[in-house]
Amino acid sequence: MSRGPKPFSSEWLTAPPVAPRPARRLPAGISQALRFGAARLPGEHALTMTVVLLLVLVSLGAASPRGEAHVPDIGGEEPRLAAPTPVPTLELDEAQPAPQPTITTEALTVKSQEEAAAERQAEAERQAEIERKAEEERQAAAPKLQLQEPRTPTTTTDGLMPEHRILTYYGFPGNNKMGVLGEHDKDEILDQMREQAAAYEAADPSRPVLVGFEVIASVAQADEQADGSYLLDTPAELLDEYTDFAEENDVLLFLDVQIGRRSIEDEIEGLRPWLEKPFVHLALDPEFAMRKGEIPGEHIGQVDAADITFAQQWLVELADKADIPPKVLIVHQFHYTMIENKEKVAPVEGVQLVIDSDGWGTPEEKRATYAVVNHQLPIEYFGVKLFYNQDVPLMTPEEILTLDPIPDLIIYQ
């Protein structure tokens, strides 16, 4: 049988189209029989009812008797789950107690007055014991204070220390940027000082606290001023005002000099009229003691051990001539360079020397500064300065009294 030209060949493309084949038809006799049978079939509704009736008859013949479960025959074995599941059981070793009432009638019984009083007494004793134990725990957790014994023998008799501790407020009157002393008037400052002093007496009852004003008597300046000292002196009228107020209220007064380009002798000689008062004392601030070429605020100043010795001896002579009690000399320090040849500084009989650990910071920083200033090279008496606004957090009196050595002087600025 010829298949004709190959598809898509030149002969296939040019060949004439194949004539269509005629459709195949059933023979005439078969076609007439099929039409005759279809005409006699029931309609679609009758056919549907017949199918449903047959399905019902089949289901009734296959169902089990009513009330019996139909279990298929699996060869005589008992039916079981594919994975056995344990069933929890409750096993009681002994009989359980009967439920008890949640509210008793014991509280409703009437007690005699004696019984009630005894119960109240027992409750009071129990509460007292609880409070006693709580107090013991508080005391155990409190800082262990080093209660200082008076130093014996002292280099200076009849001095304010060590029998007393001294607390001062530092600053320049009327200037709130130069210390707490300038933030309030004198009466308010005195009330605050006494309240602060009471906190130290409560922390260490062994030493009463004397309070005093620490007034800046010469103020360091960024410009050299007419005399080239880089200082402005506090007016004499203002020093008189604080001197009179201190005397009237039986408190101390410290005059603080910032030295600048002056000599120690020139600085303290100008304060002689006030230092001749028995309650007026002296403080030196080496931070602003400038050498040639140095400017306050740009350089950290310094004094030499010889300067401190000179001031000690000057105060001894002043007290002897004026026939007044020994003076207190404070020297501020926050950096080791501020007192040169410090190992040569020594107590001098007739004056009481306090090295004050100056500078603000955290408690850790202040402890570190205090150790450098007073612990590494102790001389005679020890001080620390606290800053209400810059020290964060401000050390408490209890914390201050744990410093080693224990401060004899506390200054607030």
Strands 209-220 and 231-233: antiparallel
Report the C-alpha gap between 312 and 154 in whole angstroms: 16
Distance separating alpha carbons of residues 118 and 144, to the nearest angstrom: 40
* Residue ranges in 278-346 assigned as alpha helix (H): 305-322
Residue 231: what pLDDT?
Answer: 95
pLDDT at 89: 36
Residue 358, phi-psi category: left (phi > 0), alpha (psi -120 to 50), beta (remainder): beta
State the pLDDT at residue 138: 63
Distance from the Cα of residue 373 to its chain's centroid: 27
Contacts of 401 (CB under 8 A, 6+ apart): 143, 145, 146, 200, 203, 204, 407
Find the angle CA(285)-CA(411)-CA(301) to the nearest 5 degrees: 15
Q: How far is 366 from 384, CA to CA, in rounded Å?
A: 9
Q: Give the integer Cα–Cα distance in Å for 70 and 52.
A: 25
Whether residue 405 has a cis bond before it, omega within 30° of 0: yes
Beta carbons within 8 Å of 41's beta carbon, 6+ residues apart: 47
Per DSSP (E only), the strands in 248-314 are 252-257, 280-284, 303-304
**Residue 4 Cα to chain centre, angstroms:** 103
CA distance 100 to 118: 29
Tokens 């009736």 belong to residue: 53
Please report the pLDDT score of residue 27 as a whole number.
Answer: 56
CA 42, chain centre distance (Å): 99
Cα(191)–Cα(188) distance, rounded to whole angstroms?
5
CA dist 173 and 188 (Å) reads 12
**58: number of Cβ within 10 Å:** 9
* pLDDT given at position 99: 40
Per domain, the residue ranges of the chain are: 166-412
- Whether domain 166-412 has CATH 3.30.460: the reply is no
Taking the chain (413 residues) in runs of 10, the rounded mean pLDDT of each run is 57 57 55 54 59 58 43 38 36 41 40 75 87 72 45 72 97 90 94 98 97 97 93 96 98 98 96 98 97 92 98 98 98 96 96 96 96 93 97 96 97 97
**Four-residue CA torsion sign, 369, 207, 397, 327:** negative
Whole-number pLDDT of residue 131: 82
Q: Which two tokens stand for residue 256?
A: 């603080």
Token output for 59: 């289901």
Cβ(160)–Cβ(393) below 8 Å: no
For 26, half-sphere exposure in the C-beta direction (CA atoms, 13 angstrom radius) is: 8
Q: How far is CA 300 from CA 282, 337, 371, in A?
A: 21, 8, 20
